[in-house]
Amino acid sequence: MSDQIPHLPAYDEATLDLSFAVLEEDVRVSAAAAASDPEAFRLLWLGRKQGRLKLISEAWLKSAPAEARKPLGIRFNQLKESIERVLAAPAAATGPAVPALDVTLPGLVRQPGIPHPLLTTMDRIVEVFHHLGYSTELGPQVESDFYNFEALNFPENHPARDTQDTLQIAGQASKPSRDRLLMRTHTSPVQIRTMVAQAPPLRIVIPGKVHRNDAADATHSPIFHQVEGLCVGPDITFSDLKGTLDHAMRALFGTGVKTRFFPSFFPFTEPSADVQISCIFCGGAGCRKCKHSGWIELLGCGMVDPAVFQAVTGERRRLGLDDTPYDPARVSGFAFGMGVERIAMILHGVSDIGYFYSGDMRFLEQFA
């Protein structure tokens, strides 16, 4: 240990407390050696010429302003007592300092963690489809243009491919357009990846995070979650799609829930439909939550467009795989997708999507 005395920058109470706390800690540390060599410890602190106490007295006490003499003196004496205590019983002073324990104080309660409400909702949706024999597939969030758009039948100039809507990865301009990387805008590329890797029949459910170049508001977030499903085999029909989703909606929202299908458009399905469920709050009578229509729009779906099967076939051929299993003349299929945030908002009556990402414990604790 250095026998230099630390500089005392000021004489106010806080500085004195801090400076003497450092010295008390030095005493405690050097006391470890006092048991085997008490004389060295005594010389270090109490030596008549170069002892630290003597040096402190010269450096700090003698130059102290009059009003600081008393507070400085009190602390100096306390330090001296600590040193003398070590010399009286060296072995006892070497243990770590143990603060007094007041058993009457309330304890530190460790909050058990809970799954985030979005994860719980996602798990709930996925589980419904697991019971129908679907298996879970996952894919990367950084995706190529081919898997996110081209294979899903988005035309070259589709607005979704614009940087206004899609977050593009920088420095991709020199690559062919199919290889350019972007943040996936939906979980659908996992459908393509799975079909390229596996022959039908196929029943998969795809939960995951997706990214859009969207401004955040009460119902939009640039990052959100989807669950998609895909079923491919010989003779899969629109009736299978209707029956599957009708069952899934009743499993999720209660057996009294009705579904209805409206014509819609997605590049990767033909025909396409939007699915509404009867309002879970008013049972269809009309209320504020369903804007007095009795129905809530929940998901999109449709029969897989033959162009998607052709893209999968082309990619399998490019990779040297068997290019026959997804011949549109031999297989058909349906796909559906839903927003996890929207379903969680409906299930829990949450009015602003931002609450899910705020990290506000007062919000999250309600799901414990």
Binding residue (CB under 5 A) for Zn ion from 118, 273, 279, 345: 279
- Shortest Cβ 290–Zn ion spacing (Å): 3
Residue 282 makes contact with Zn ion by CB under 5 A: yes
How many residues are recorded in the chain?
368
Binding residue (CB under 5 A) for Zn ion from 290, 298, 301, 353: 290
CA distances from 281 to 286, 289, 356 (A): 9, 7, 22
Nearer to Zn ion, 83 or 257 (CB): 257
Nearer to Zn ion, 158 or 292 (CB): 292
Tell me the residue nearest to Zn ion as measured from the CB.
279
Question: Across-strand partners of 210?
Answer: 224
Tokens of 44: 């270090």
Nearer to Zn ion, 295 or 363 (CB): 295
Residue 346 makes contact with Zn ion by CB under 5 A: no
Tokens of 147: 């898997």
Nearer to Zn ion, 29 or 285 (CB): 285
Q: How many helices (H) and strands (E) does the chain have?
A: 11, 9
Residue 287 makes contact with Zn ion by CB under 5 A: yes
Residue 295 makes contact with Zn ion by CB under 5 A: no
Nearer to Zn ion, 61 or 287 (CB): 287
Residues 14-43 that bind Zn ion (CB under 5 A): none
| Half-sphere exposure (Cβ direction) of 155: Cα atoms closer than 13 Å | 4
Nearer to Zn ion, 163 or 255 (CB): 255
Residues 6+ apart with CB under 8 A from 40: 33, 34
Residue 132 makes contact with Zn ion by CB under 5 A: no
- Please say whether the beta carbons of 154 and 162 come within 8 A: no
- The size of the interface with Zn ion (CB under 5 A), counted in residues, is 6
Q: How do 202-211 and 181-183 pair as beta strands?
A: unpaired
Tokens of 241: 């799609």
Residues 72-131 that bind Zn ion (CB under 5 A): none
The radius of gyration of the chain from alpha carbons, rounded to an integer in Å, stands at: 36
- Shortest Cβ 117–Zn ion spacing (Å): 22
Our CA angle for 47, 30, 96, nearest 5°, is 145
- Shortest Cβ 278–Zn ion spacing (Å): 8
Which parts of this chain interact with Zn ion (CB under 5 A)? 279, 281-282, 287, 289-290
